[in-house]
Amino acid sequence: MTRAALSVYMYGLYLISSVALPFLIIPHFTLGLFALSAGDELWVRFTGVLAGVLGGFYIAAVLTRNNPVLSWTIPARYASASFMAVMVALGAAGPGLLLFAALDALSASITWVALRADAGEQTAG
């Protein structure tokens, strides 16, 4: 498994284990950890389902060696992080959301660096 594939695989596991499952099983507790409000519980759980599906797609892309998807995840994760940061800046969300934004941006950066390193090894070898 390449470094880029491993980074996307790990991000998929993060989405499933740290976002999807807590939002599905204990949504109010999870949101409370980050000083976020739930509003309607249905939407929190729906977000959990979407995070789980997305995480599953990321893992499936790695396991099927669908390499173009690895690079497509990078701008998507930067866009997600930017959206969360803007919501916090506008006062629509609490600062706890910045942790999720930082994780998305960091993981996108790790994948980007890993893709470059993997490509460099292929051209050198």
Contacts 24+ apart (CB under 8 A), 100-106: 100/19, 100/34, 103/14, 104/77, 104/78, 104/80, 105/77, 105/78, 105/81
Instruction: State the residue range of the domain holding 64.
Output: 3-124
Give the model's pLDDT for residue 92: 86
> What domain count does the chain have?
1
Cα separation of 82 and 2, whole Å?
Answer: 27
Inform me whether the pLDDT recorded for 37 exceeds 70: yes
Cα separation of 50 and 66, whole Å?
Answer: 21
Inform me whether the pLDDT recorded for 52 exceeds 70: yes
**Least-confidence region, from 10-14, 105-109, 117-121:** 117-121
**Mean per-residue pLDDT, 31-40:** 76
For the whole prediction, is pTM greater than 0.85? yes
Give the model's pLDDT for residue 125: 62
Give the model's pLDDT for residue 31: 84
Inform me whether the pLDDT recorded for 122 exceeds 90: no
